[in-house]
Chain A
């Protein structure tokens, strides 16, 4: 395959050519309530070609028929030449890499029968269903894949990557009279069969939470001091800041560049954040991105100050910065765009724990777990799975529908305490941008306190 790619690259008449071919083996099992929905094995494959000519734009072709590869290289070249540009697109210099990068399969999922996968998921689904008769519905799913990715470009890079992934998720729906609540567990790992064993307890816990939420009041809307648990703090940094640090937002926009000037203060000195695609064994981890650039740890905020951003080769060249290995595509069907990998808030002082954060809060909210988040850059939302009121320094009653409204310039700056209890939260799901969803990413954070944040609800 590698030879087919390098030959096709050599035959290209374009100034710059890159080819990505993927072959993905995957299996999936899903339960809905007590019924099995599906148990399937699938194979998906296809290719992606992107070319650039001097004075012209990108020409792109994606296809499922690999026999068409040479023809698709020619088509992409024609498309590029149809796009005339006054200001040429430049790509930042990178060293050509020739490598075989095989991630640890951790129990190759291709060697495990579909029946065994069904049995495992049935156990987790059963753990949710057996919690209470108030659990009326569940959705449990298991999905694994082993993806082979070949990449070659006309600068001499030729890379083969073997990427495993496994995702477990469970949603428990509780219902009593008119009230319906859900609990969600989600585990996503760039690993294999060994790493998805022993999660019965976690699945039971989310079902119990769905039942408990049935009797919980909705949180009252308003501004509160808020403590985010590790999971929600991770979603927070992804939405609040991660997307703003993606350089494709600023590289063509002078006003955005000004707003995001390196050296600008965004938080108090306690705040340190970054994105690390090279951290071992996480869902957002990759040896090389989809332009063949090695991934790395990129500091974004150091002691409250903006110090870096995430780049593709194109955005790096435009801003005179270095590529960071953040050009990613969800599959051969899409071009690489600037994306996060494993985004984190670095831990505060060792020994500082949750109790130190909550002690002096008279009335506040402890927001836990994450149903999701979304950003419109300056403003963003992050939706907790559940919450507790904080009263006189203590965790008090359970509350539901806890959705936080964040503002880039206000919320980040109001982070006043960061605990030392950092964890990576290896959730399933993924990040969506530019029509590409779900991209595997990971977030990591310790407990974080925001002096004041807006929570929606009845006022």
Chain B
């Protein structure tokens, strides 16, 4: 399909690139502990970008039998209004792509019954008399083909599986919700599912007691899940797009130490076993890792072809595209890398706080915040009510805290990290441990 569309484009415009993708999902859903639904979804589509007289245009379709000429005509009409861009389409051919396994037979071959059995076992292990358990298991198989008029081609098959579980416990007027997930390209092992169950049980057990919240500028441990509010501003500020637009506070700071010197963050599309990994991006750029934060300094911003052209640099292979709209910048797998400081606590992966709470006189563990992403994110300022948080007193978790709000500035807080937890884990496309951050504002009613 890609070849036909690119051939049609070649007759009508100067240059073009395209993505074709077919996705097939199979999912089962358990509601309140019982299997309620099984479903499949099949989708295929094509996204075309053209350069006509230097102007860029795009068109997409989910038609099963797309007419290449009509698609090219629509992209040309879009280019008539488009901006001038000097895109340099890569010429990589498929044989030079980095090797990264994206397709796992076990995942692809799992039957509906296999998925149901996995969900059922998880439900049984999570069930408690006073709680409602929902579990879903979703498997995806995707075929992707990318190509451009410069001759680059790339093709790969990928599998993905997501197992999500949530527990709701309502006691009187107290609502407690605990959520966790396993996401991978390969099927979860017994140990992966056991880790998921233990993580949920640990957080549930510690949450059964409700205690009053503290107040003031306090030490707060952000768990890998709770860290979202702190990471989001960085993700926005490290995007080549916000740098170009002049709205990134990290623009012009490459090489400057802006964060704790033990902190490094990379974007790595070549991490084995992750659904975010792939050999080539959606614009035919071969995959490679990018150091976003390197030992506390601002490393490299991420770019797609268009922003790279405008910034007079190279694409980092972070081009992403859907069926509709133009390619844009997307992270793949974000990994925190810490230089060990020699004072690491003994590994205790299941313990809340990742071994960081022993020296806390009074503070919080934040596992979930409400409304993340809805404020003035790129400024670094955040302010959120806690969704799930625990009070730490004299080095011990004393119970769950409600009706409190935490606030701070991500860039300031990351200048001095009080400690890196021993509980590093994947959460979606991000791997991080818990971080202890000092001086976070905690307000309560």
**Residue ranges of A at the interface with B (Cβ–Cβ < 8 Å):** 28, 32-33, 35-46, 57-68, 75-76, 79-80, 82-87, 89, 114-115, 118, 136-137, 173, 175, 178-182, 218, 221-223, 252-253, 255-256, 258-259, 333, 335, 371-383, 400-401, 403, 405-410, 452, 454-459
Contact = CB atoms under 8 A, between A and B. Distances in A.
A137 B403 contact: no
A376 B175 contact: yes
B375 A383 contact: yes
B41 A61 contact: yes
B272 to A, nearest CB: 27
B384 A221 contact: no
Interface stretch (B58-66, B147-155, B261-269): B58-66
Contact of A43 (B63, B247, B375): B63
A255 B32 CA distance: 12
Give the top 5 A-B pairs by smallest Cβ distance, nearest first. A456-B405, A60-B39, A221-B443, A381-B371, A405-B385
B92 interface: no
Contacts of B368: 376
A43 B45 CA distance: 11
Given A136-B245, A178-B249, A405-B404, A454 B385 contact: yes
A59 B80 CA distance: 45
Contact of A36 (B83, B245, B325): B83
Contacts of B381: 218, 401
Interface string B74-99: 10011011110000000000000000
A376 B370 contact: yes
Given A57-B38, A175-B247, A379-B402, A44 B62 contact: yes
Given A36-B83, A377-B177, A456-B384, A62 B39 contact: yes
Interface of B: 28, 31-32, 34-45, 57-64, 74, 77-78, 80-83, 112-113, 116, 130, 132, 168-175, 177, 215-217, 241-242, 245-247, 249, 323-326, 368, 370-376, 378-379, 381, 383-387, 402-407, 441-445
Contacts of B168: 253, 256
A128 to B, nearest CB: 13
A400 B171 CA distance: 36
A182 B379 CA distance: 9
Given A43-B63, A66-B64, A383 B371 contact: yes
11 contacts: A38-B58, A40-B74, A40-B78, A57-B38, A62-B42, A83-B36, A175-B246, A252-B32, A372-B373, A374-B372, A457-B405
B51 to A, nearest CB: 14
Contacts of B378: 173, 180, 182
A222 B405 CA distance: 9
B383 A372 contact: no
A64 B42 contact: yes
Given A333-B41, A456-B443, A381 B35 contact: no
